[in-house]
Amino acid sequence: MALKFSIEKELGGQLGRAGILETPHGTIHTPAFVSVGTKASVKALTPEQVKSLGAEVVLANTYHLYLEPGAERVKSFGGLHKFMNWSGPLMTDSGGFQVFSLGVAYGKELSKITKITDPSQMIAERSLDSEVPRLATVGADGVSFRSHIDGSLHYITPEKSIEIQHALGADIIFAFDECTSPTEDIRYQAEALERTHRWAEKSLDYHKSRPNKDTQALFGIVQGGREELLRKRSAEFIGGLEFDGFGIGGSFAKEDMENAVRWVNEILPKEKPRHLLGIGEPEDLFMGVENGVDLFDCVAPTRNGRGGTLYTSKGKINIRNAEFREDTGPLDSKCECEVCKNPRHGGVNYSRAYLCHLYRAHEMLGGTLGSMHNLYFIINLVKRMRQSILDGNFLEFKKDFLLKYE
């Protein structure tokens, strides 16, 4: 069996739960935050550092690894685990998000999570489609796209996506899907959903026909945009197939995300794990855990870390700001990471003043230390959520944390 999932304790009156997910390369204690190593590397950090921060699992990107260095090359090195020197559980996404980022979102500041709710604004966004060339084109059977590296033409089908992921060798892989823009109208969302469902069946059929079915778990992805009817339809369809677990894909309006997650998790089989794709802000993590999400992934902690936006127990700060140039204190006095080192345990390793200097001087070490801190902060925040479920005080922990987190 490719994985085993068991629920230790449920959150009373809610969908949340604490569980254990066993994979061929180790155990994941859920809920858990999945560190993103897009190109087989968590940016600015070594695998040893990632592990020391408390990470149990890393997710890599199928699209990027397919283009460089190539899935067959990774396979020739013994698979992704050996290639990147990560001995723990690994996940790979399907490449479906690149359908969105290279297609409708290409050349525009458009995210799969949006605050746009005004229909006139959505129409304005869609009107830009004819003005900006796309690198990806969606067809009935797959997606044709041009490499962002050299412009070469490629065609990915559900079967091809699974074939690539089999070659990479991650413990958990995802069915090929279409992630739509939040600005698309319901007619297109419905068309895309039918494609995603057909592709899910094809992904599953191909996976089951290959020997990897016994060593790699396949998750199906629920889509449906902001629409309750489509989300529930997708959860029922994908949940009825023989997947080992499920991904909950974008797109959402920010204010609708909680409803969309709840709609889906009230329907998906309780005994299988659920992964909310691309979500990582603290308030959204609390929302997801409360509504039955077991796994999260997001590039935000390391991306923010490289840019100087750092998490603290009182909210995010921009460490580049002049106010920190003379600050001898730790980044976060309540944080136990190697960057902060709580003063109660031997003093400050790196002061706010030093971190401010590194970023303002454009020293690479700044991005590494910032990424270490942010990743530790988010990983261990979710660990604390898990423990609060086991201890029976999740809602109190959530209220206390968010009250202080501005």
State the catalytic residues. Answer: 93, 297
79, burial (CB in 10 Å: exposed 0-12, middle 13-18, buried 19+)? middle
Radius of gyration of the chain (CA): 21
Of 292, 293, 203, nearest to 241 by C-alpha is 203
Length of the chain (residues)? 406
* Residue 352 near residue 324 (C-beta atoms within 8 A): yes
The token pair that represents 17 in the structure block: 């739960």
CA of residue 72 relative to chain centroid, distance: 25
Per the DSSP assignment, residues forming a β-bridge with 26 are: 23
Q: At what angle do helices 257-265 and 282-290 cross, to 10 degrees?
A: 30
Neighbours of 67 (CB within 10 A): 19
